[in-house]
Amino acid sequence: MNLNTLETMELTTMRTDMKCAVCDKHKAQLKPRKSKLTGANLLLCVSCFEKKFEPRWAIIVVARSPKMGGLVAVRDYIRNHRYVGEKIRAEEILPR
């Protein structure tokens, strides 16, 4: 096995290990997007990308943080279920 083979293997592994930041599934094709909510660079699968989804956890973090925009910033995401997973509950986003 030469170095080239090793490099190829690593690249292949990397590619198959890539998960969508929203639905957490392994996908062959991911598209980069800067999160509108957190500013983080995300890799999204085509489906989540086209639906303009954000990670569920990111919506919760922003909703709970007045500094990051609070509930107003994510209202549309919550109302239109623009994330993957269970419906976000009030207990998850309201301050304790």
Binding site for Zn ion (CB under 5 A): 20, 22-23, 45, 48
Task: State the nearest-atom distance from the C-beta of 70 to Zn ion, in Å.
Answer: 26
Task: State the nearest-atom distance from the C-beta of 21 to Zn ion, in Å.
Answer: 8
Task: State the nearest-atom distance from the C-beta of 13 to Zn ion, in Å.
Answer: 20
Long-range CB contacts for residues 45-50, cutoff 8 Å, separation at least 24: 45/20, 47/23, 48/20, 48/21, 48/22, 48/23, 48/84
